[in-house]
Amino acid sequence: MADRAQIAVLISGSGSNLQAILDACTCKSIDADLCVVMSNRQDAFGLERAKKASVPTLVLDYSLYESREEYDSALIAALSEYQPDLVVLAGFMRILTPIFTDAFAGKLINIHPSLLPKYPGLHTHKRALEAGDSYQGATVHFVTHELDGGPPILQGRIKIADTDTADSLASRILTEVEHKIYPLAVQWLVQKRVEMRDDGAWMDGELLSGTGFQYIETETNK
Ligand code: GAR
């Protein structure tokens, strides 16, 4: 068995969150290694990032499967070969069935670009702007059967500027929030400081609120 925890990352696109996690593993702010990066798309740029870091890659094309359940079963079989301690969804744009979420319950996390429970689903930044919100952010949460509805672990926010558009918010939230909170939350799971129980996410023996731990940048977690 590997000494360091093994992480599988699932992507569909650019993989900038994957890169933040890879960098954190390299500089040891995450005490783990990536065992595989899996994509549902052959053209996902994140696959190049994984190859550059010498992490094995895997592509599972949905069109080769009859149903979501069949696809998810194949995905479980493929990932199980790598025996991941943690499965990290980083911009993985496919809805997973209970077959998959149950197989990795408690060790499956996602990052969602909104202040959950606000705005599950798509177009989160546009929806925050249309609602006239003052803040927008991102949330790392455990994945359960409910889409973007599992217990939040860690949430970070920025103030929306008058000049912000959905695109500027997406890019600011990626760099100012997501790339900071995702590696930190992954490390908490690796350290077993955070766990999922029936009633929610627990950290250091305390039940976290329905929005998770609130991230505030300090000198030590910058
Ligand atoms: C990120 O903003 C992530 O929060 C979002 O996709 C982007 C992926 O960027 N995820 C979702 O919308 C999932 N519902 P990346 O490929 O550069 O990490």
Tell me the domain boundaries of the chain: 5-214
Residue 40 CA to ligand 1 center (angstroms) comes to 14
CA-based nearest residue to 89, from 115, 109, 71, 62: 109
Find the residues whose C-beta lies inside 6 A of ligand 1. Answer: 11, 13-17, 46, 90-91, 111-113, 138, 174, 178
Looking at ligand 1, which residue's alpha carbon is closest to its atom 8? 91
Q: What is the DSSP string of 152-204?
A: EEEEEEEEPPTT--HHHHHHHHIIIIIHHHHHHHHHHHHTT-EEEETTEEEET
Substitution site in 154, 169, 178 for ligand 1 pocket (most atoms within 8 Å of beta carbon):
178
pLDDT of amino acid 1: 53
Instruction: Inform me whether the pLDDT recorded for 113 exceeds 60.
Output: yes
Q: Which CATH class is domain 5-214?
A: alpha beta
Tens-digit pLDDT profile for residues 164-211: 999 999 999 999 999 999 999 999 999 999 999 988 999 999 999 999
Q: Which residues contact 76 (CB under 8 A, 6 or more apart)?
A: 99, 100, 103, 104
Ligand 1 center from residue 111 Cα (angstroms): 7
Provide the residue count of the chain: 222
- DSSP per position, 114-129: S-TTS--SS-HHHHHH
Instruction: Cite the active site residues.
Output: 112
CA distances from 68 to 63, 73, 195 (A): 10, 9, 28
pLDDT tens digits for range 4-41: 999 999 999 999 999 999 999 999 999 999 999 999 99
CA 203 / ligand 1 centre spacing (Å): 24
Question: Which of 174, 175, 177, 186 maximizes ligand 1 atoms within 8 Å of its Cβ, making it the mutation to test the pocket?
Answer: 174
Q: Is the peptide bond before 117 cis (omega within 30 degrees of 0)?
A: yes
